[in-house]
Amino acid sequence: MKKLSLLFTFLVATLFAVAQNVTVSGTVTNSAGKGIEGINVLVKGTSKGTITKTDGSFSINAPSNGTLVFSGVGYAQQEVAVNNQASISVTLTESQNELNAVVVTALGITKDSRKLGYAVTSVNGDLLNKARETNVAYSLTGRVAGLNVSGTSGGPGSSARILLRGLTSGNASGPLFVINGVPMDNTQRGSSGEWGGADQGDGIGNLNPDDIESMTVLKGASASALYGTRAANGVILITTKSGKKGTMSVEYNGNYTIDNAVNNTDYQYVYGQGQHGSKPANVTDALNSGMLSWGAKLDGSQVIQFDGKEYPYSAVTDNMKNFYRTAPTFTNTFSFSGGGDNGTYRLSLSNMDNQSILRNSGVKRNTINLSLNQKFFDKLSVNVTANYIDESSKNRPQLSDGPLNANNINFLATSVNQVALQPGYDVNSPVGAEIQYNDDIYVTNPWFVVNRYINNVDRKRLISSISARYNFTDWLYAQARLGYDLLNDRYFSVTPTGTAYSGGNLGGLNNLSTGQTTEMNADVLVGAKKNITKDIAADVSVGANLRENKSESIGINGGPFVIPFFYSPYNVSSFGRNYGFQQQEVHSAYYTVDFSYKNFLTLSTTGRYDAFSTLPANNNSIFTPSVSGSFVFSELVHIPNLNYGKLRVSYAQTSGDPGEAYKTSQYYSVGSTINGMTTGSFSSQLPNLFLKPFTLTEYETGLELKLLNSRLGFDIAYYNRKTANEITNGSLSESTGYSNQYLGTGSTQNSGLELLITGNPIRQKEFNWNVSFNFTTVKNKIVEIDGSGNANESKGLGTYRPLNANTALVKGLAGPQVMAYDYLRDASGNIIIDATGVPIRGALTPMGSVLPNVYGGLNNEFSYKSFSFAFLIDYKFGNKVLSATNYYTIFRGLNKMTLDGRETGVVADGVLEDGSKNTINVDAQTYYQNLARRISALNVLDGDFIKLRQVTLGYTFDKKMLGRLPFKSITLSFVARNLLTLMKNTDNIDPEAGFSSQVNYAGIEGNSLPSTRTFGLNLNVKF
């Protein structure tokens, strides 16, 4: 209580003092008078900064007696004294020989970009909040070289899979997200697998795009080394918006969009429902063929259906259009900011209502964001940020397998109208029994799911931090920071009363649970920046960090329900319970040192020491160093038309632990009683007492060029990285008494080339055109898995519901590989046919990696007077997709390949086992269904694509146009996402479709929501 009182007193004092702070707004233009996007505006002597928007405008809170530093690629750096001014406009001159941009790097330390020996890319928040995604991570797609963003086809708020520089390790996860200097939890809360399940969302998806000022991607190990173990996969720094000096400013940003399902199917509509060439003759026939299109040719005649009624035997091509709805999303954000000479504030309130294309499903989110900056005296400054999220997800959809999965609608027989399935349940049944339309009770009626399904997830989250910085002199400072991330989740899921596969149609309680996760990060940093001699300068920082993470959950389940439709834990015949707890700590110390010579040569080094609680006490620590160099050769050598040139090189090592606690000791648990005797159990995982931190070592080189008055730019990076002692979960023989064990034996190698080309083809006072193209190529290799030295090592990962193929890590190949069964062939390459006339299955064979080896994006931005127009195209090549949809369409007679032989039967092209030519004629349904079961290589598709990802068209009414109206500006924009697939090679599916964001299931597709096309309007009003 005492701590809360002190905090309350501090906040009140800050709010009263904030009136002394100053907010500076203005515009940065070039020599032609055109606003410049992406210029760094930094408060000198601090890590506080912002980036100019598309029109060159900016707003930042700064001390009234402070100094602003303006810097950007290709422009000479300029410093401007604030002098209590509320408005400052700056014209930057194109620099012929230097790069002066200042960027925020690891731990919030600001550095001149010319001195960096590694790759860093920043994305302005304006690019994230117009044509927005519910999960802001998706908005990074195609914008950053080296960054591969994929997702889950699970509806609003689905998790994102983010990989920086390929598959870093066999257990690769996403990059570490750091918000305002504090690491945030990005745990995936639940996902689907081959047996079904729902995507429950991740951590980054909780953030409101309207509150984000910028996102900075630290790609390489040298860039992220100071963040330790969780930064092995890279770091993305998120800076939220802060207050402005001057009178209170009010801003409204409204976004209204609609999502429509995209129909990627191209089914055959020649033959209808039925089996072996015949129409359903009775109700039983109709029920047995509800999802089979092996019937007769469609002729429009009346045919009996599963409900006993007759319907036209005609093609029904609009089931998807009529089942899924047009789904609106409405987001409203109000922000209030202001300040005085010594402090600023910003408060934003946001509400989002995102409906899913699947009826009765969606996500609602309320967000409150607070930023307070206060300067006490001349030397002490304090910053407080708090981000509160209240998110409610209704009926997160089931994916992959059939039970309670509404997406079964996509596999109806070609002559079955989804209207016949409504309302999905028998209105005359006491338990509302599910209306079955096929012979598999585990393939749930989609309309029953829409009207009865319950799977709700609620989250209340607070991400907060407080930091204080004291400047002893103009070159020496000390900083302390405390960050706290608190997450409270609630899950409620039932098998509804009436579900066909539940005993007696009674249903049951799947999960009623709550969980709490907390993470506390406390760090201190002492820094000094001073010239040692006239030509040599040093920048030194030393610090330490304590990270504590704890999670606890408790839940109950049970069944069946006694009273129909009363979904209470008090209404079940029997109970089950579960409890989970985990706690871990990391203690760290680190340093960073830069030595610069004459502003063109910089040598940097960092070091970090980590001690992990998740590893054996005698082997739980590691020191990881890095060293990098930057050489601005354009300062020494004059090359015509070259404005800026820099070479960079770096070496770094990062480390990691298992990521889970309690893997190095045996633990026992107490269970239920049997005849009054208490039972006990222990984990089937064998503890490993010899685990140690794994390491990732990376070498990186790069070249940066600016030419033709900085209107053409190149940023090229090459890297090579390799892990050692990678911790992997290996399987054991059951005869040992255990099923698996964590082993420190894995090794993965990655190398790649990243290219960013920027251009400004047209730069005029009224018309401007900026274009950027990024390209990434990655080469991955699994070097070692279990340490046995066996050349044929592999480790299975994920699979799909047909269960005749999977993904795996395979030694010597890129990971993960699709493992599938191809045709068995003779020495001459002929397909071998068995006595039934169906091809024989060959060996399980690697078919290619599910991760692309080439990807990137092309972004164009145009501005003419008050108009703005932009579009983004992105692409991925070199990956494979394991498609359950392809399997189902062949097995069920929907695929066009099954038209061959419908009337005459199929004689497979190949030879019999004795070498003679095959002449066996097989009924089409028998042939293709057995072919689908045996030859899973048919379901391995080429995942290449090119997409028109985003388009925005806007018009800005400035103060001059608005006259006496109480507005500073109004911008109205048409926005669109996922407009067109310009090229793809996957029949009947979106090549990006997937049911899980986990790497284990990357590239596996099946029975998930269709992709969506989004259109809408964005309105921004500044008062």
Q: Return the closest-CA partner of residue 681 out of 763, 737, 755.
A: 737
Indicate whether 198 belongs to any domain. Answer: yes
Alpha-carbon separation of residue 162 from 107, 140, 154, 188, 814 (angstroms): 21, 10, 16, 12, 18
Structure confidence at residue 1 (pLDDT):
39
Single residue among 95, 120, 147 that ends a domain in this structure:
95
Phi-psi label, residue 308: left if phi above 0, alpha if psi -120 to 50, beta otherwise: left
The residues pairing with 529 across neighbouring beta strands, listed in sequence order, are: 539
- Do 91 and 217 lie in one domain? The reply is no
Concatenated DSSP letters for 761-794?
Answer: EEE-SSEEEEEEEEEEEEEEEEEESSSS--TT-E
Burial of 169 (0-12, 13-18, 19+ CB in 10 A): buried
Strand ranges, E, within 725-853: 726-731, 740-763, 767-784, 794-799, 805-810, 817-823, 832-833, 841-849
Query: Is position 670 within any domain?
Result: yes
Q: What are phi and psi of 213, to 5 degrees?
A: -80, -45
> What pairs with residue 24 in β-bridges?
60
Alpha-carbon distances of 156 from 11, 143, 361, rounded to whole Å: 36, 22, 9
Angle, vertex CA 491, rays to CA 487 and CA 492, nearest 5: 160
Same domain, 812 and 867: yes
Q: Are residues 90 and 231 in the same domain?
A: no
Residues 89 and 159 grouped into a single domain: no
For residue 637, the enclosing domain spans: 129-259+327-404+453-816+851-886+945-984+987-1022
Eight-class DSSP state of 283: H
Residue matched to tokens 């986990």: 998
Would 680 be classed as within a structural domain? yes
Q: What's the domain count of the chain? A: 2
Q: Are residues 478 and 536 in the same domain?
A: yes
Is residue 284 situated within a structural domain? Answer: no
**Gyration radius of the chain over CA positions:** 30
Q: What angle do CA 226, 229, 233 make, to 5 degrees?
A: 90
Residue that finishes a domain, picked among 71, 95, 119: 95
Looking at the fold, whether 470 and 587 belong to one and the same domain comes out as yes
Which domain CATH number covers 342?
2.40.170.20
Q: What is the CATH number of the domain that holds 29?
A: 2.60.40.1120
74 in the same domain as 214: no
- Here the tokens at position 813 are 């190949």
8 Å CB contact between 108 and 129: no
Residues 58 and 142 reside in one and the same domain: no
Q: What are phi and psi of 472, to 5 degrees?
A: -65, -45
| One domain for residues 191 and 81 | no
Specify whether 352 is located in the same domain as 477: yes
Report residue 39: phi and psi, to 5°.
Answer: -80, 135
In Å, what is the CA distance from 236 to each residue of 5, 214, 502, 844, 986? 34, 10, 45, 39, 32
Classify residue 899: in a domain, yes or no. Answer: no
The whole-angstrom separation of Cα 495 and Cα 502 is 8
Among residues 79, 95, 111, which one ends one of the domains?
95
812 within domain boundaries: yes
Confirm whether 315 is domain-assigned.
no
Question: Rounded to whole angstroms, how far apart are CA atoms 77 and 445?
Answer: 65
Average pLDDT for consecutive 10-residue bins of the chain (1023 residues)?
40 38 84 77 79 84 85 77 88 59 75 83 85 89 92 91 88 85 88 91 92 89 82 87 82 95 96 96 95 96 94 96 96 92 91 96 96 89 95 95 93 96 95 95 96 96 94 93 95 96 94 95 93 92 94 95 95 92 92 91 92 84 91 90 93 81 77 80 79 87 92 94 84 78 84 95 90 95 84 88 94 93 95 96 95 95 93 96 96 97 95 94 96 96 96 91 88 94 95 92 94 95 91
102: in domain: no
Report the C-alpha gap between 983 and 726 in whole angstroms. Answer: 38
Instruction: Give yes or no: residues 26 and 140 share one domain.
Output: no
List CB contacts of 459: < 8 A, sequence separation 6 or more: 201, 206, 389, 390, 391, 392, 393, 487, 488, 489, 490
Q: Of 728, 693, 488, whose CA–CA distance to 586 is shortest?
A: 693
Res 917: pLDDT = 95
Beta strands 102-104; 110-112: pairing state: antiparallel
Residue with tokens 């996509």: 410
Residues 25 and 165 in one domain: no
